[in-house]
Structure 1
Amino acid sequence: MPSEITPAGLRERKKEETRRLLLEGAARLFRERGFEGTTVADIAAQANVSVRTFFRYFDGKEALLLPDGVQIFAYVENALSERPADEDPLDAVCNALLAAAEPFSASTLTALGHPVEDLENVVTTRLVQAFSDFEERLTVLVRRRLPPGTPDADLQAAVIACAALSAVRAVLRTRRARRAAGIEDTGPAPLRRAFALLRGMGSVERP
């Protein structure tokens, strides 16, 4: 039976395969050589493509530290679906974002041989941007968790989602300011601390 895959379909499959090879090759090299010891040329060679081809897929090797926005949102969506149904919506969202951020934490970067002091800010910046890009989609997920008859459910869902994502952005701004002032972060992990502060400001109104 003749193949029904069109030339356009074959091109898309080839692009996905190249992207996969670049990601897998980069992960292998980062573990073996560390982030600083790995060049874009090394990653391209590992995937058997040119450096020019590499830049068609990624804007630099830092982009390989995180999956794309679709995958990150899937992490959040899955984490949120696993939260207890009776958990306060704000707590559920904060816990889901924490769970999604954990694979990109300082401890994980250290385990991969990355110099955290140089890369943590890069990773946080990209993670914040990815979270911000699905603000509306997160609002939809939050609204589904609100009890039936919740007053102004659309508004409450939007406030909860935006507040949680704003806490992530606040962590980034505060870290930058502290580092510029020569102040070291101490105490709990900044993102966890930010969510604790946010939870203390109030929770969802019940019907």
Structure 2
Amino acid sequence: MPSEIAPAGLRERKKEETRRLLLEGAAHLFKERGFEGTTVADIAAYANVSVRTFFRYFESKEALLLPDGVEIFAYVEHALSERPADEAPLDAVCNALLAAAKPFSASTLTALSHPLEDIENVITARLVQAFSDFEERLTVLVQRRLPPDTPDADLKAAVIACAALSAVRAVLRTRRARRASGISDTGPAPLLRAFGILHEIGSPERP
């Protein structure tokens, strides 16, 4: 019934707005006061919610440093599991990463590279650890796609996983530099170009 659907939709919009305000408040306060100088209560007050409500959205202040990373990584893992079993491993990983890029905004993807670049090194440390953990999980998933008799299967899987993610990081760094120069480059197209370059490196033309 419409009367039952509307309140549910309104609740979802309110939840999204609260989450947005918490993230906005964290970004503003971290830059203004520093990470250590900002409390959960400060962030909650910015969003005009209670501390208890804050913890319904985030498990800690640290969780605000890379809020969508876990969601993106989980999306990549799911997308990879949906790729055809006979697809080349590097192609499968690149296509999974491209599929994951579409639902997320350019600003969210950029946050994976430098979420709040002007604040303490704890952000960089968390980011590095998040990528490292995901590289390990992705390596395991790639290795499962390799034939059982593949020589150096663990090494090959690690190279494929790390090369693909390095291409993503290269895109993010390039985007950041281009934005600083006033050049716009958004959407998944840069990833397509980066993966094309990666394939060129792996399969150089021979005379």
TM superposition score category, shorter chain reference? 0.5 to 0.7
The one-letter code sitting in structure 2 at the alignment partner of 1:94 is: C
Query: What's the CA shift string for 1:37-82, capped at 9, x where partnerless?
Result: 997436461x663779988623486754x1x53x443322211111
Q: Contact 2:80 / 2:92 at 8 angstroms: preserved in 1?
A: yes
What does residue 41 of structure 1 align with?
A: 45
Query: What's the CA shift string for 1:103-131, capped at 9, x where partnerless?
Result: 2134xxxxxxxxx5xx66335545x7544
* Runs of at least 5 residues in structure 2 that lack an aligned partner in the other structure: 1-11, 27-42, 116-126
Query: What's the CA shift string for 1:150-201, capped at 9, x where partnerless?
Result: 2221211111000001011101111122223333337962223212221232
The one-letter code sitting in structure 2 at the alignment partner of 1:201 is: I
Q: Contact 2:75 / 2:100 at 8 angstroms: preserved in 1?
A: yes
Distance 2:82 2:64 in 1: 32
What does residue 201 of structure 1 align with?
A: 201
Distance 1:80 1:197, change over 3 A: same
Distance 2:59 2:143 in 1: 38
TM alignment of 1:117-156, pairs within 5 A = 121-122=110-111, 125=114, 130-156=130-156
Q: Contact 2:93 / 2:161 at 8 angstroms: preserved in 1?
A: yes
RMSD: 4.0
TM alignment of 1:1-150, pairs within 5 A = 26-29=15-18, 40-41=44-45, 43=47, 45=49, 49=52, 57-59=60-62, 63-64=66-67, 66=68, 69=70, 71-106=71-106, 121-122=110-111, 125=114, 130-150=130-150
TM-score of the pair, normalised by structure 1: 0.60
Distance 1:155 1:60, change over 3 A: closer
Q: Contact 1:142 / 1:157 at 8 angstroms: preserved in 2?
A: yes
Q: Identical aligned pairs, as a percentage?
A: 61
What does residue 167 of structure 1 align with?
A: 167
* Runs of at least 5 residues in structure 1 that lack an aligned partner in the other structure: 1-22, 107-115
**How many pairs were matched up?**
165
Distance 2:200 2:57 in 1: 45
Q: Contact 1:25 / 1:43 at 8 angstroms: preserved in 2?
A: no
The one-letter code sitting in structure 1 at the alignment partner of 2:110 is: N
TM-score of the pair, normalised by structure 2: 0.60
Distance 1:200 1:86 in 2: 21
